[in-house]
Chain A
Amino acid sequence: MPKKVENVGCPYCGVCCDDLVVTVSDDGKKILEVENACAIGNQIFHHATGGERIRLPRLRQPDGTYKDISYEEAVDYAAKVLYNAKKPLIYGFGSTNCEGMAAAAKVAEKAGAVLDNCASICHGSSFLAIFDNGYPSCTLGETKNRADVIVYWGANPAHAHPRHMSRYSIFPRGFFTGKGHKSRKIIVIDPRHTDTAQMADIYLQVKQGHDYELFDAFRAVVRGHEIPDQVAGIKREQIVEVAEILKKARFGTIFYGMGLCHSDGRNHNVDIAISLTRDLNDFTKWTIMAMRGHYNITGPGAVWSWQYGYPYCLDLTKRDIAHMNPGETSSVDLAMRDEVDAFFNVGTDAGAHFPIDAVKHLRKHPWITVDPNINMASEISDLHIPVGIVGVEVPGIVYRMDNVPIQYRKVIDPPEGVISDEELFERIHQRLCELEAEETAKEGAKAAPEGVRAGSEP
């Protein structure tokens, strides 16, 4: 009899829906039905057993084709690429569990690599703003149970986080929000009149790239100052009207997205969004939240901050002495300056999602892709190592967009022989240790650096 698995987590977007019901065939090999997921979540589960999967690592041959090799050979190849590179870049982790991220960090430290995640091209600006200005945030549960005013700014959840509005913001009936949608005001601010804007009580079509000015105008009005007749394409009366709604809310949340992070101003747009949130807390309770994209892209920030003190753009070239400086140690900037000499694309697709100029620079050097599926990165790699799909075939911890950790489960086994990210990185780490030991045996231990160490006798 087919088996129903309940409370399954969805490994796609940062909403991390954990109420999916997945029906699996008798033999536990095929996914038959997925309930409660949106169109994208559905696709992930069906794709896992629906199409052809890559079951063995593939190594690029001189004629440009791929040849299947064993995991052992792939681990050896990957470790040697890392060992021989002066400054490898290990990037991605949009679709991995925290266990895999921790194992990859061990590899990065051993290899003296730069370790970066998709936040680098996504919500990295949010980190910069949060470092500078704090993060008056909340959990999605608090928004659901308390919020009577919701702002979506530069975010289009109808497309990017399809169940965000029904689970947490606009529609659900919460503890203090028993009337659901009826008791909430929805404000959408975006240069595009999107499907999300269709849901809004008030929509403001801000001029693209002028969000900062509009935030500034809101701050001025909230603090009782005059503003010009029009700011960033929005009339003064509308700004005043919305400012009054914000001030009179019982509890509000600003959800913001790439419209702020990808436009001119980057972190400064987020910074002033946080400042407006702080200002509003003089009147009532306001919170702000980044609409993190992938289901566990919040994960590397949590894991690596715990391991090294920094959430992304970690330069580990000095091994356990980490430093972080976006602009300098960020993947796209490193690529454009040709400062890395090997590239690991892990659980993401830099081939499709980096500007093509950055792809061209990175491809001058060895490129290895670790991903369950064929994607653009795998198709320009020297080596493609398939792994199990987290949340479908591999269990593990993921962090939801509001920094709440959730234990994901697996519903089926990975294709025979296919290993997890975590096991792969553990094995690469092991091989790196062996390579180091072999070298030390040949050359003798490296002399300790000259100089006086802290704590040593003068």
Chain B
Amino acid sequence: MANRITLNMITQRSIEEGVAMEKGKTTPEYFEACSIIEMHDDDVKALGLVPNQLVRVTSECGSVIVKTVRGRQSLYPGLAFIPQGVWANQVVPPRTQATGEPQYSGFPVTVEPVNSERRKSALELVQGAVGMWRGDQ
């Protein structure tokens, strides 16, 4: 069993994200729709993950804690998916290949299980990143 594996990350829209976003990005629905990761079963096994286990995803520009879920879509081994949104954008590289468009799809990340950490809320992540987080309000 590996402690950590490297996967190719893609981030795109999901309908759950779309519905929750319109309800509000501070709602529990948005939190549950977006702070998740999907992988192929082989990769889940390689990391020895149990369903709903939290993992740390780290890219060249940051890291984020998300929950492992089994989605309706299927990916091939080596590919990982976080729905578009606040959690994905903690790790999306801002490089644009001179087009303006960040590298939302196809960037290397490492994935490792964590035990004593928690998923942060959208507000904590975004306000925290710019020094405006004042704790749970």
Contact = CB atoms under 8 A, between A and B. Distances in A.
Tell me, yes or no, whether A binds B: yes
A353 B13 CA distance: 11
Contacts of A335: 94
Contact of B126 (A39, A51, A159, A352): A352
B92 A355 contact: yes
Interface in A375-419: 375-376, 379-380
Interface in B71-106: 72-76, 79, 81, 84-86, 89-90, 92-94, 96-106
Contacts of B28: none
Counting contact residues on chain B (CB < 8 A from A), the size range is 35 or more
B86 A333 contact: no
Contacts of A128: 99
Contacts of A209: 8, 105-106
Nearest to A336: B94
Contacts of A380: 126-127, 130, 132
Interface in A204-252: 205, 207-209, 233
A120 B62 CA distance: 23
Given A64-B132, A159-B14, A208-B106, A191 B79 contact: yes
B24 interface: yes
Given A128-B99, A208-B106, A354-B102, A376 B92 contact: no
B23 interface: yes
Given A12-B18, A159-B14, A193-B74, A266 B126 contact: no
Contacts of B84: 353
Interface in A349-370: 349, 351-360, 363
Given A192-B79, A195-B73, A209-B106, A266 B13 contact: no
B103 to A, nearest CB: 7
A240 to B, nearest CB: 22
Given A40-B19, A43-B19, A332-B94, A374 B26 contact: yes
Given A159-B14, A352-B89, A373-B24, A326 B94 contact: no
A309 interface: no
Contacts of A345: none
Contact of B61 (A120, A125, A357): A357
Contacts of B24: 47, 51, 373-375
Given A354-B102, A360-B129, A44 B22 contact: yes
B104 to A, nearest CB: 4
Interface stretch (A102-110, A257-265, A298-306): A257-265
Given A208-B8, A261-B101, A380-B130, A191 B18 contact: no
Contact of B130 (A267, A353, A359): A359
A266 B98 CA distance: 10
Contact of B15 (A44, A158, A205, A359): A158
A60 B80 CA distance: 39
B130 A363 contact: yes
Contacts of B15: 39-40, 158-160, 162
A375 B123 CA distance: 9
Contacts of B122: 352, 376
Interface residues of A, number: 70
A264 B129 contact: no
B89 A120 contact: no
Given A357-B94, A363-B130, A379-B123, 5 more contacts: A43-B23, A64-B132, A121-B104, A162-B15, A374-B24
Interface of B: 8, 10, 12-15, 18-19, 22-26, 61-62, 72-76, 79, 81, 84-86, 89-90, 92-94, 96-106, 122-123, 125-127, 129-130, 132, 134
30 contacts: A40-B22, A47-B22, A121-B101, A191-B75, A191-B79, A205-B76, A209-B105, A209-B106, A263-B105, A264-B103, A267-B99, A293-B13, A312-B100, A332-B96, A332-B101, A349-B25, A354-B89, A354-B94, A355-B61, A356-B92, A356-B125, A357-B61, A358-B94, A358-B102, A360-B130, A376-B86, A376-B122, A376-B126, A379-B123, A379-B127
8 A-B pairs closest in CB distance: A330-B100, A327-B98, A262-B104, A262-B105, A43-B22, A159-B15, A363-B130, A355-B94
